[in-house]
Amino acid sequence: MGNRMEGRVVIVTGAGRGIGAEVAKWMAADGASVVVNDLGGAVDGEGDDQSPAEQTVQAIRGAGGTAVANFDSVAEYETAGRIVQTAIDNYGRLDAVCHVAGILRDRMVFNMTEAEWDAVLQVHLYGAFNMVRHAVPHMIRQQYGRIVLFSSGSGLGSSGQTNYSAAKEGMVGFARSLAKDLASHGITVNAVYPGGATRMTATVPQSTRDLRGSTQVPQAPVMQAQGAPIQGPPEASDPANNAPKTVYLCTEAAGNITGQVVGVSGWQVTLYGPRHVTKSIHKNGRWTLDELDQLIPISLANGLTNPVPPAAPR
């Protein structure tokens, strides 16, 4: 067992299965005391079940580690508060939060319901706010903290996932801004692009199956729907691959890494740069439409490819 996280207390949300469970186990293996949080719902968020979180706790304890289960929902402010309180009650402090919990409700935008929008935003993005808002007072008191928010390459554009893209790219904006708010308190905040063969990618929800079955859904050129395309043999899709990089971001040694987006899936660790300006046009006055009609096609729009160009009706 390592000791990078010895004496540290970590909450991992969505730690009952998949990537969250692996992150929790690796944290414990490096000496952390872990709050294993999982509502135990289905991939679309329905239902609840205590056994996933309990299984992860048993696995950690079986390997000689320290963990306690929590079954509260990240999606509500009050219940997220109970998750944080579980850490304080059991271990007296809180050093790191990894917000992995997430669900899917895929639908093309013209069919997406309010419930589908709300559910995905609530678990992912509101869940991030809820966890961070409750954790931060403890971390500020300690003048130490590590926050890792699980985003997704879907924020770069993924047909059928208006809600998920909003939440996942929102997570990135949130992390970059939080990093500024909290840097003077010794707290780092980073976003990660995870990936792997989990129930989120394997057992796709019915809405996603309907979507993919009925249309040729074009995927973003860089990312597939739920994370980086995993290169290599099946082992590279093991969710455990996300763990070492995530754990590293939560160590004391990673204190200078903040406000970043890190790809943590598969057999790679990747630093992503923020969107930035690559071309520009300038004048010292307001542009006219006559000018833009002539200039944009040969400047800013020159070389841009529509990722989904118009297609003939089927």
What are 56's strand-pairing partners? none
Q: Given the rule CB under 8 A, which of 49-57, 60-68, 86-94, 136-144 is the region that contacts other proteins?
A: 136-144
User: Could you please report the per-residue DSSP string of 22-89?
Assistant: HHHHHHHHTT-EEEEE-----TTS----SHHHHHHHHHHHHTT-EEEEE---TTSHHHHHHHHHHHHH
If the CB atoms of residues 59 and 166 are measured against other proteins, the closer one turns out to be 166
Task: Give CA–CA dist 171/105, Å, rounded.
Answer: 17
Tokens of 41: 């719902």
Residue 160 Cα distances to 105, 118, 155, 220, 251, angstroms: 9, 15, 12, 11, 36
Q: Binding pattern to other proteins, positions 206-245, x when CB under 8 A?
A: ------------x-x-x---------x--x--x-xx--xx
Residue 246 CA, chain-centre distance (Å), reads 11
Site for other proteins in 25-84 (CB under 8 A): 26, 30, 77
91 noted as active-site residue: no
Q: Which of 144, 164, 193, 248 is catalytic?
A: 164
Which listed residue (140, 142, 199, 212) binds other proteins by CB under 8 A? 140
Task: Give CA–CA dist 299/301, Å, rounded.
Answer: 6
Q: Binding pattern to other proteins, positions 78-117, x when CB under 8 A?
A: ------------------------------xxx-x-x--x
> Total residues contacting other proteins (rule CB under 8 A)?
111
Tokens of 225: 């729907």
If the CB atoms of residues 47 and 306 are measured against other proteins, the closer one turns out to be 306
- In the complex, the smallest distance separating the C-beta of residue 149 from other proteins, rounded to whole angstroms, is 10
Q: Which H or E run contains 54?
A: helix 51-62
Which listed residue (21, 131, 132, 200) binds other proteins by CB under 8 A? 132
Backbone dihedral angles phi then psi of residue 232, each to the nearest 5 degrees: 110, -170
Q: Given the rule CB under 8 A, which of 13-21, 44-52, 197-205, 263-271 is the region that contacts other proteins?
A: 263-271
- In the complex, the smallest distance separating the C-beta of residue 70 from other proteins, rounded to whole angstroms, is 20
Answer yes or no: are the C-beta atoms of 28 and 34 closer than 8 Å.
Answer: yes
- In the complex, the smallest distance separating the C-beta of residue 167 from other proteins, rounded to whole angstroms, is 7
Site for other proteins in 151-190 (CB under 8 A): 154-163, 165-174, 176-184
Answer yes or no: are the C-beta atoms of 114 and 65 closer than 8 Å.
Answer: no
Tokens of 110: 């013209």
Q: Given the rule CB under 8 A, which of 7-15, 45-53, 83-91, 135-143 is the region that contacts other proteins?
A: 135-143
Active-site residue list: 164
